[in-house]
Amino acid sequence: MMSRKGKNRFRALALLLALLFPCLIAGAASPEVKKASPEVKKAAPEVKKAAPEVNKATATAEVIYAAPKITRLATFQNVGGEKLLYSPLALARDVKNGDLFITSFGSGELIILDAKGFLVNKAGREVGLTAPYGVALDETGRIYLSEVQTGLLKVLSPGGALMDRIDLSLVVGRPVSPGRITIGQDGRLYIADLRAHEILVFNLQGDFLQALGGFAYLQKAAVVNDKIIGLSAYGRAVHIFDQTGVPLLAFGDHGEASERSNIFSFPTGFAVDAKGRLWIADAFQHRLRVFSLDGRHLFNYGRLEIDTGGFFFPVDLCFGEKGMLYVLEKGAERIQIFQVSDL
């Protein structure tokens, strides 16, 4: 019989393969898809309260800036005993009401939780979704979902009804495999193309505007303070462009020397906080790495831990008001919520 340690190693290997090749898990068994009913909230989730946990920045021989106090507040994982997240890949937050939108890639669903972790709605095959990968919301509450297998961008109403489907390959003029997506304050849609490893920029009507390349394995893109940021899992990790597409800065290498502050393993998601710090989820190192936007490493947070208390393959993150930080873990299939003291 396999030991617990052996089982954990086997699970970690399986998740590593799934992160590298997300299409391999698209055919995984899915729970029965239920009709969306946005007006009715389901039973309370399993919310695990935690004692304040102060982060400990990873010490290196290089200069690391003082880290703020980071307190873990709760974990959203199961709702009323029901598992909802299967190989989740992307996370977005509604700034108006705090609802969380998560793509459950393994079950082919969009999961919507409120700020307390209650199930608000879920949508899947009944609205025509096929293994959604990325998710973003516009100012009107419309939901944008990318499908890496079909190459489609689907738009749902705030209530979860299908409004539009855009064939990105047809619009761009070549095959497109859309991954994570974001909508900037400029009203543009930024899509990470996992096939050509380019940032594809569209307006919200689906018109193609420009493409930015130079990535070895693009994972996510977003616009921050009139700068376009792209994150790559291989090669140089962070690329920053001006809004015309002119490269301004690139930093972060990949390798096995993870004790060095500028070495990444497999970064997949990022968010920028109110102080302009770039928080990056390094999935294979099971931690968050934090940088200034000029490339200075500030501090790290987290460690490998399957049980609550660390991270297990963190893949995406976002910020809320008053220093709230939400971290999505593909390996643990959960969201952890933190409070960052200096925000």
- How does pLDDT run across 69-100, given as a tens digit for each residue? 999 999 999 877 889 999 999 999 999 999 99
Please check whether residue 38 is in contact with residue 121, taking contact to mean a CB–CB distance below 8 angstroms: yes
Q: What does the angle CA 117 – CA 123 – CA 126 come to, to the nearest 5 degrees?
A: 155
The CATH code of the domain that includes 130 is 2.120.10.30
pLDDT, mean of residues 25-30: 36
What's the number of domains the chain is made of?
1
Q: With 70 as the cut, is the pLDDT of residue 14 above it?
A: no
If one counts every other C-beta atom within 10 angstroms of the C-beta of residue 20, the result is 12
CA-CA-CA-CA torsion sign (22, 143, 111, 54): positive
What letter would DSSP give residue 15?
A: H
Angstrom CA distances, 98 to 101, 117, 133, 326, stand at 10, 10, 21, 11
pLDDT, mean of residues 11-33: 46
Selection from 300, 295, 219, 197 nearest residue 251 by Cα? 295
Q: What is the pLDDT of residues 103-144, one digit of tens each?
A: 999 999 999 999 999 999 999 999 999 999 999 999 999 999
Q: With 90 as the cut, is the pLDDT of residue 174 above it?
A: yes
More confident residue, 219 or 26: 219
Q: With 70 as the cut, is the pLDDT of residue 37 above it?
A: no
pTM of the model: 0.84
Tokens standing for residue 97: 């009401």
Q: Could you tell me the residue range of the domain that residue 333 belongs to?
A: 4-340
Q: For residue 116, give the 3-state DSSP assignment.
A: coil
**Percent of the chain that is helix, strand, coil (3-state, to 5):** 10, 45, 45
DSSP string of 174-201, one letter each residue: S---EEEEEE-TTSEEEEEETTTTEEEE
Q: CA-CA distance, 143 to 239, in Å (whole number)?
A: 27
Q: What is the pLDDT of residues 257-297, one digit of tens each?
A: 555 667 899 999 999 999 999 999 999 999 999 999 999 99
For residue 49, what pLDDT is reported?
Answer: 45
CB neighbour burial string for 138-157, b if at least 16 within 10 angstroms, e if fewer: eeeebbbbbbbbbbbbbbbe
Q: How far does the chain reach from its first CA to its final CA, in angstroms?
A: 48
